[in-house]
Amino acid sequence: MAAEIIDGKQISADIRAELAEEVKKMKSEHGITPGLAVVLVGEDPASQVYVNNKEKACLEIGFKSIKHVLPAETTEAELLALVDRLNKQEDVHGLLVQLPLPGHINEDRVILSIDPDKDVDGFHPISVGRLAIGVPGFVSCTPAGVIELLKRSGTELEGANAVVVGRSNNVGKPAALLLLDENCTVTICHSRTRDLGAVTRNADVLVAAVGVPELIKGDMVKEGATVIDVGIHRTDNGLVGDVDFEAASKKARAITPVPGGVGPMTIAMLMRNTLKAAELTLGR
């Protein structure tokens, strides 16, 4: 039987519509408009597209968008001073600095300078630590989107064997922690894993976030698995993921396409984190 295609574009639109309703309530009941500040340094074309998409999503949902575009020659001290100002600015509930930064700026120092209560990217070590010990905090947007796709596609997570292929700080590791929190039995694989297929064939839930085009072949997928493909690669045959979609969809119960799977979820989760950041200020 052909696999169910998990429509990330639709699910992302549904979530953003749900959030827009909550924003209306937040405005009418508390007089607060959630605000997201995005800082871009330099003129990287991909980053410009990402930042513009974030601004557009904010405005559609009813958030305030505060965009700062700085020249590539901006010093680290100047950037840190701006982050410090945005940390203190009351109409800024969420704050992110678009990566990558120019080579002369230390990304770790910049991430550390962000107020963890405004860290809607979930990149601050305090956010990562909160996730690791299972206390409330901001979760990085792409792995949060992976979990949301699993839940909204009716995937049984309790007790399931979940295999994450890839161990990056922003996707693989947090995805594994989130799956553990959902009571999955979690295995993390990577480029040094011996006999990758032997591990992935045991996966009821398979998350591919390894950054190698179509590494996951059909014979590496368990019959009836749910497959979430985080990869996206431009090839001569168009965009492909980390999974051989044609072959894997003959085995899987449900699978995300590339594009239109995980990609659109990242912004929806960023919007959700920003609303959460605004809600955090209510109790103060």
What is the rounded distance in angstroms from the CA atom of residue 50 to the CA atom of residue 264? 11
CB of 203 to ligand GUN, least distance (A): 26
Which C-beta is closer to ligand GUN: that of 42 or that of 218?
42
Q: How far is the CB of 145 from ligand GUN (least distance, A)?
A: 10
Q: Residues 98, 117, 222, 251: which is the catalytic one?
A: 98
Token look-up 């591919």 returns 208
**Ramachandran sector of residue 249 (left: φ over 0; alpha: ψ -120 to 50; beta: rest):** alpha
Which lies closer to ligand GUN via its Cβ, residue 124 or residue 253? 124
What does the alpha-carbon distance between residue 95 and residue 217 come to, in Å, rounded to a whole number?
Answer: 39
Minimum CB separation of residue 275 from ligand GUN in Å reads 17
- Between 92 and 97, CB nearer to ligand GUN: 97
- Choosing from 7, 117, 121, 244, the catalytic residue is 121
56 as an active site residue: the answer is no
Q: Which of 54, 118, 173, 222 is catalytic?
A: 54
The minimum distance between CB 261 and ligand GUN, in angstroms, equals 16
Closest CB to ligand GUN: residue number: 99
The position carrying tokens 């997928």 is: 221
Q: Which residues are CB-contacts of 201 (< 8 A; sequence separation ≥ 6)?
A: 219, 220, 221, 222
Catalytic, 89? Answer: no
Q: What is the Cα gyration radius of the chain?
A: 19
3-class DSSP state for residue 216? strand
Binding site for ligand GUN (CB under 6 A): 50, 96-99, 121, 141
What whole-number distance in Å separates Cα of residue 131 and Cα of residue 181?
9
Nearest CA to 96 among 46, 11, 38? 38
Residue 134's alpha-carbon distances to 89, 130, 186, in angstroms, are 29, 6, 16
Q: Which is nearer to ligand GUN, 119 or 182 (CB)?
A: 119
Residue 54 or residue 167: which is nearer to ligand GUN going by CB?
A: 54
| Minimum separation from the CB atom of position 15 to ligand GUN (A) | 16
Any idea which residues carry the catalytic annotation? 54, 98, 121
